[in-house]
Structure 1
């Protein structure tokens, strides 16, 4: 689906606040409510808008430690990959899991309350998964940039 500048404006407003009223979007972009509503429904039908969500600050809930954890598996059969990926789904501390090329197989983004909780996570939960060969941890000292995909990327060109 090709989107235009009006779609981008709508997406930016919804990314900034998913609770923005149709009337406010329409006023901001100089349209009436009905065409704005139709555009949003089209963006949803075409999978551009996947869902509406809120952002929770884990630090304000006591989750102070963010770690990236590289995982190398012992064996790389299709079944072993599937088992690992299924096991990761149940670990609530893991916010992201990506299968990568390179020196290790997976990179996990893990959020826990403190170092003791991280040690328990590694020892009791991650290590309980079959076929773990090696785990290496990297701790976030300071987040420099955290963002979501910007809809501006859809129309930008490399210069």
Structure 2
């Protein structure tokens, strides 16, 4: 992987903070002209440092104020069951994030829903229908203290 120089890192910080900035605005921040900034952005995209540009939405305004972390433990741990779970969880729109974990829990899911009743229905009619789930343990967020979707770039 091609190493990042100080300008690349600053450019990534700027874009991570506000991806709607124009090349002209980025160039002004970096003290460069348009062309080298444009080329750097394209290079960083092509190298995979920039995966996508997104809008961060407000879950409350969207009617999904309940955030739940659900720990899933599987009964059996062979490849076919793990692959099937990963495939099925991709289809669940309520699941925002899913991580395969080491330790006592096999998967950690971050789920957003509108109410506890919606979460109950999600577990009963969707999540628990996935084969081989042994234990589900849900914890509900009371208050979001820190949420940073960016990465620290050093």
Question: TM-score, normalising length from structure 2?
Answer: 0.96
Q: Does structure 1 conserve the Cα–Cα contact (< 8 Å) formed by 2:16 and 2:150?
A: no
CA distance in 2, matches of 1:43, 1:29: 16
SS of 1:96's equivalent? strand
Shift of 1:67: 0.3
- Given that 1:11 and 1:151 are in contact with CA atoms closer than 8 Å, whether structure 2 keeps it comes out as no
User: TM-score if structure 1 supplies the norm length?
Assistant: 0.93
Shift of 1:129: 0.5
* 1:10 Cα offset (Å): 1.1
Contact 2:66/2:115, CA 8 A, preserved across alignment: yes
1:11 aligns with 12
The Cα of 1:121 is off from its aligned counterpart by 0.5
Deviation of 1:151 after TM superposition, in Å, equals 4.6
- Residue number in structure 2 paired with 1:118: 119
Q: Is the 8 A contact 1:74 1:133 kept in 2?
A: yes
Q: CA deviation at 1:101?
A: 0.7
Question: Structure 2: 5+ residue runs without aligned partners?
Answer: none
1:89 aligned onto 2:83: no
Q: Distance in 2 between matches of 1:25 and 1:134?
A: 49
Distance between the aligned counterparts of 2:109 and 2:80, measured in 1?
20
Deviation at 1:15, TM superposition (A): 1.3
Query: 2:133 maps to which residue?
Result: 132
In the other structure, the counterpart of 1:148 is 149
- Offset of residue 54 of structure 1: 0.8
Asked if structure 1 preserves the Cα contact closer than 8 Å seen for 2:72 and 2:106, the reply is: yes
CA distance in 1: counterparts of 2:27 and 2:105, whole angstroms: 48
Question: Runs ≥4 in structure 1, deviation > 3 angstroms?
Answer: none
Aligned length: 153
Aligned to 2:37: 36
Alignment check: 8 A CA contact 1:95 1:110 kept: yes
Give the Cα–Cα distance (whole angstroms) in 2 for the partners of residues 149 and 55 of structure 1. 11
Residue number in structure 2 paired with 1:26: 27
Q: Is the 2:44–2:50 contact (alpha carbons within 8 Å) kept by the matching residues of 1?
A: yes
Q: 1:8 touches 1:151 (CA, 8 Å); kept in 2?
A: no
